[in-house]
A and B are shown apart, each in its own frame.
Chain A
């Protein structure tokens, strides 16, 4: 009787397996072409947003590219990981008198996100949030329901005019789906799908390269790890159809070096993470390709002034770097940069200033970048 039941179950399983195999769409492992950034006319570098939190902290700004310009989105509250943190944003667009930013306002609350979750659940605090490039207006938010960042999950959030309308956690860990976070923007593949750089913070920390299907369900993950290191917050820069470099933060502040990993098969595998010679005070970096060899990076790479953020250029795919511009932190650190390409050869840069006390955003173009490199 038991044997017969198990045979029936095995037959059902075979049927299910055939069905899922037939429906399965193989993932594309070829990055979208790297389009060179246009010079963009006369050199331009403009500060378009300078927000200071009234009290507490405003940190981890990210850039959401929109039809008219871009939005900067960050988390703000009494302190990070506290139960009063919500997501704030300002919309920035070019106007007749230059770039104009809307007044910063609350964009996503914990309560609204909890109600939008499928299944509905409590959200205690919010963290690093990036644009979900696979759908218009979507977000990928770091959410915490219990504990601190090591207990965080990544939620894919569909936004409506008044806030989140639907959200679902990505399934990335068997530890109650905990301890995975995001920081850096998604990367486009040739078939218009995307790769998501994420990282795991519980136990042995490591980076993760995540692939989702068209419905936003996780299909594949690849670990980015290196012996003796704690590589997190990967920033992935494609340099060709199959080639990309990942720049990672070492969670161990004592080692003080930026980390690197590379792929030559479109992200199916990543080389062992190793240290670069660049100083890094355990803080994430932002980077983007200006063309197939040249990379622009924003990083805290000056050991003598770790609070400053510098713009650096590499002409050899990230092997060597030279600083071209310094953004001075003054008394407070500039941290958590993000760089995104806008239309018309423009590039947006944002970061938190005053040691998580506010967020700032600039718009620049390639002509200005080239002018700094003299």
Chain B
């Protein structure tokens, strides 16, 4: 199942890149649909190619966060009334994520990544994410947290919940999104 999910996640992310290209010629909704279709089919067909096996090697574990963010973004662009993360929440996320990665690399004694292996801490973290979503007025954070918990509990993908709901590539993505909003 990890193999199928990874291919699907990668196809969705590839579909997002195609959506950006296609949206120059097509309206958002058809560009999103066509981009997703082509992305998922393309990854399936080219699964054994160096490009796709290399992408899997670099990005794995993909988790649910990247594909859900991509789908969220394309759904909003296609006209669905989904709330986006506010600028303060995005800034807080960026700071917290950078601190989390730094701590996990041994910069400080704390080992936050370790909490993602155990049911108790994960239960608390997911409920906290639901609480943050409630306060921020967006279901995106709870959706990612609970979807990640479901996959983690089922044993699909990483054995650490953080790998399902965070991804190192989100740091530059969030930084660029924040810059675009502030400029």
Q: Point out residues on A near B: beta carbons under 8 Å.
A: 2-3, 5-6, 9-10, 12-14, 16-17, 19-21, 24, 114, 118-123, 145-146, 168-169, 171, 173-177, 200, 202-206, 213, 215, 217-223, 225
Q: List 22 A-B contacts (CB under 8 A).
A: A5-B142, A6-B139, A6-B142, A9-B130, A9-B142, A9-B143, A10-B142, A12-B146, A13-B126, A13-B130, A13-B149, A16-B149, A17-B123, A17-B126, A118-B3, A122-B50, A145-B57, A174-B162, A200-B106, A219-B118, A220-B117, A222-B114
Q: How far apart sit A176 and B163, CA to CA, in the bound complex (Å)?
A: 8
Chain A residues with Cβ below 8 Å from B167 are: 176
CB distance from B45 to the nearest CB of A (A): 14
Neighbouring B residues of A169 by C-beta, 8 Å:
60
Residues of B close to A206: CB separation below 8 A: 106
What total of chain B residues lie within 8 Å of the partner, measured CB to CB?
Answer: 56
A259 to chain B, nearest CB (A): 15
Shortest beta-carbon distance from B93 to chain A in Å: 14
How many Å lie between the Cα of A21 and that of B58 in the bound state?
Answer: 32
How far is the CB of A107 from the nearest CB of chain B, in Å? 22
Contact, CB under 8 Å: B159 / A204: no
Residues of B within 8 A of A (CB): 2-3, 6-7, 47-48, 50, 53-54, 56-61, 83, 100-101, 104-107, 109, 111, 113-114, 117-120, 122-123, 126-127, 130, 133-134, 137-139, 142-143, 145-146, 149-150, 153, 155, 158-160, 162-163, 166-168
Contact between chains at A173 and B104 (CB < 8 Å): yes
Q: B59 → chain A, closest Cβ, in Å? A: 7
Q: A5-B139, A9-B146, A220-B118 are in contact. List 10 more A-B contacts (CB 8 A).
A: A2-B83, A20-B123, A119-B7, A122-B50, A146-B54, A174-B113, A174-B160, A203-B105, A218-B117, A222-B114
* A145 nearest in chain B by CB position: B57
